[in-house]
Structure formats: structure tokens, C-alpha cells
Amino acid sequence: MHPKRKPIIAGNWKMNMTAVDAVDLVRKLSYSIVNVKDREIVVAPPFTSLAAVEEAIRDTNIALAAQNMHWVDKGAFTGEISADMLLDSGCKYVIIGHSERRQFFGETDETVNKKIKQALKKGLLPIMCVGETLAEREAGKLDEIISRQITGGLKEISADDMKKVVIAYEPVWAIGTGKTATPEQANEVHALIRGKVKSLYNADVAEGLRIQYGGSVTPENVSQLMAKPDIDGALVGGASLKPDSFAALVNFK
């Protein structure tokens, strides 16, 4: 955490929660974090709950994110959701290129890049996910993979636009496995990402960039992670599905 950057704690609910459950969760969450001003709080429900959650969090300190979107304005793309639809549902952020989308739905650095450009063009703030698999890490390819994802995902994004992007480092081996990267391991990659962004842009953009860590973050380990200088937030799956543990994440020390 760095004094210049506002921490951002986001819950990625993945394919969980009906609208009723989602509204119940954000209502309970909003009561327990009502006074929090020094950190940004974001929830990313499934598309089907966005409208209901938007209504429930209106006039609270919680912002809305979507988990994915298409890069085209509109048209014959059955099953897809456009940026305008997300704006219409009250989204401020959109998660792009989550490893589950890369792994199971064929997303590549190229499609990630198209989606980021579209999000920025439409006024949505992208949370771009990057991260290596265990096999890639063990083969000594960590730097190569992260650099490729950063360079490819951010291709032709201007420095001004880059100031609106959040990056989430989520090592694939730490997602939903209970195996968190150690604060040192995570910070090392965050510093690598910041260095890469500095070389692609400039020191100002790199210093302002918020980088979240994701992968088995819990109320028990969040404070040690957030104590590291290059870790500016968390993107949380499992532990964001219960109001008490989500509130505890937001209230990290």
C-alpha cells in the first residue's frame, strides 16, 4: 500500500448468487462498512443481479463492477453483453481477462486488449487480470508471461487512459486453492508489473497505477498482503461471498 494510491477491495462473485442473495449480501455489507472512506469497495455480481444490486447500493460507498463484456457496440452476438448495457445497469468497473475466462472461454491477450479499449472508450474502468499458471512459474517463465500479458493487454492504450486502468495480479495456482502467494511473492510480481508499466508509459502512470492481488485472499491474510508497498488492493472470490468476511477484508489493518 502506498499513501498516494487509494486501496481497492473488490469482490468477484463469479457464477454465484441469485439477485435475492446478492441484494441481501450488499445490504448487510453496507451497514458494516458505512463509515469507510479511505478505501474503495467494489462488488462484481453476475450480470443477472447487476440491476438489483445497483438499486441496493445506491447512495452507499460501494461501487458496481461486471465480470466481463464484449468489445463490440451491439449486434448479433448471442449471449454477450455490451459496455452500454453495463453502463445502463450502473457499472463503474468491468473485470477483463480473468484467468477463468482465459482458461475456459478462450480469451487471449488480443481479446483482452479489445475489451479494455472498448471499456475505456465507453467510460467504464477496466480491472485487467494477469497471472501465471503453476507450470509457467515452475518453468521459470513468470517474467515472460506477465510481460506478455501486460504488453498485449495494454497495446495502443494511451497514458491518459492508462490512468483509469486497475491491474489485478492473480496467480492461477492461488485461485480458489487456499494457496495464497506469500506477501513477498505477490509484491515481487506487483513490482515487476509496475516496472513494466513504467517502461511502457512513464513514472507518473506507474506510480499512480493500482495493482490488486487476487488468489485465496481471506480476512486472515489480507493485512499482511496490504502491508506490502506495491499491493494496492485485493480481488477476492470465495471470501467475498459472506458479508462478515467481506467487511473484514475491507477493514484490513
Residue 237, interface with ligand 13P (CB under 6 A)?
yes
Q: Which amino acid is at 183?
A: P
Interaction mask 81-100, ligand 13P, x per CB under 6 A: -----------------x--
Residue 17: all three cell numbers together: 448468487
**Alpha carbon distance 62, 59 (integer Å):** 8
Shortest reach from residue 26's CB to ligand 13P, in Å: 17
Q: Which is nearer to ligand 13P, 170 or 232 (CB)?
A: 170
Question: Which residues have CB under 8 Å from 134's CB, separation 6+?
Answer: 172, 173
Q: Could you tell me how far CA 97 lies from the centroid of its own chain?
A: 9
C-alpha span between 49 and 106 (Å, rounded): 25
Q: Which is nearer to ligand 13P, 206 or 236 (CB)?
A: 236
Tell me how far apart the alpha carbons of residues 182 and 105 are, in angstroms, rounded to a whole number.
29
Smallest distance, Å, CB 43 to ligand 13P?
12
Tell me if 175 contacts ligand 13P by CB under 6 A: yes
Q: Which is nearer to ligand 13P, 14 or 205 (CB)?
A: 14
Q: State the greatest distance between any 2 C-alpha atoms of the chain, in Å, as a whole number.
A: 48
The residue within the footprint of ligand 13P, chosen from 107, 132, 170, 232 (CB under 6 A), is 170
According to the binding rule CB under 6 A, does residue 9 interact with ligand 13P? Answer: no
DSSP string, 26-95: HHHHHHHTTT--SSEEEEE--GGGHHHHHHHHTTSSEEEEES---SSSSSS-TT---HHHHHHTT-SEEE
Piece of 69-77, 104-112, 138-146, 213-221 that binds ligand 13P (CB under 6 A): 213-221
Contact flag: residue 217 with ligand 13P (CB under 6 A): yes
Site string for ligand 13P, 128-167 (x = CB under 6 A): ----------------------------------------
Applying CB under 6 A, which residues contact ligand 13P? 12, 98, 170, 175-176, 214-217, 235-239
